[in-house]
Amino acid sequence: HRVQTIAKTDRNLSNFQEIQKGYQDYFTQSRVMEAMVPRKLESDVEAKPFIYSTSSIQGKVNYQTLNKAIMDPIWEILDREGKRWRPMLCFIIAEIYGQNLDTVIEIAGLVEIIHNGSLIIDDIEDSSLQRRGKKCVHMIYGQDVSINAGNVMYFIPFNYIMKSAKFTDEQKVLMAKIYTEEMVTIHFGQGVDIYWHNQSFLNENKVPSEAEYLLMVQQKTGVLPRLAARLIGVVLDLSLIHISEPTRQAEISYAVFCLKKK
């Protein structure tokens, strides 16, 4: 509602842009993504959160390999930034409930990293060549490395949250349930979208109905903003009733944003 009110007239557009930039700058300066995903792994201490093993095999971790195979392609896409709409949504929800932006900073980092991981995978699935004015990550690092890096971006930020002392065990259980539900949903939505632009579907001379298409968008583009709203509800200890409307608005607004780009 705040964004809609500010952006109603051209006169207020500059105000909206200032607020947007303020959110973007806060997110960047928080360095939450660097906390979740170090740019480089250079010691056992830095690598420990990412490598779990019960093996008795003794060996030295090859950090140069890990950096080239995982950290470098991840930061190739993260450094290209983007609009940061998803973190901005997190901050707006926090402000709606009178909370400091730092209260939801981990959720903002989570959805932004997941989103960028999905872009790496999307570009491979769509055989894209460019992303944000540069070669796609898989055009630089190869499909095998890029698929693995994109996939691990779905898990690294959530692993960070699960290990954080900021949240209670009860909150972590609820967040794990929500995260699993939404990540399964987004893959089903993506699967439908892929099939619809697949040649075999086109050969069937079928066109999805408007309702079918909107449902796909809801299950694909609408997932990450909905995930953010639901997780923030847990962080702020909000009841389902209190978080349901922000969740619905988040889902709809991003679905509309997607359709406007088509």
Residue 9: per-residue pLDDT = 45
240 burial via Cβ count (<10 Å: 0-12, 13-18, 19+): exposed
Residues 6+ apart with CB under 8 A from 239: none
Residues 6+ apart with CB under 8 A from 105: 27, 30, 32, 90
**Residues paired with residue 131 on neighbouring β-strands, in sequence order:** 134
* C-beta separation of 4 from 64 below 8 A: no
Residue 65: per-residue pLDDT = 93
* C-beta separation of 11 from 84 below 8 A: no
Residue 20: per-residue pLDDT = 85
**Of 232, 245, 258, 260, residue with least CA distance to 1:** 245
Q: Record the pTM.
A: 0.86
Residue 134: per-residue pLDDT = 96
- Can you list the residues of the chain whose pLDDT is less than 70? 1-14, 53-59, 199, 201-202, 240-262
Residue 4: per-residue pLDDT = 44
End-to-end CA distance of the chain: 24
Residue 112: per-residue pLDDT = 97
C-alpha separations of 13 from 28, 54, 89, 112, 217 in Å = 22, 56, 18, 25, 27
Residue 44: per-residue pLDDT = 83
Residue 248: per-residue pLDDT = 64
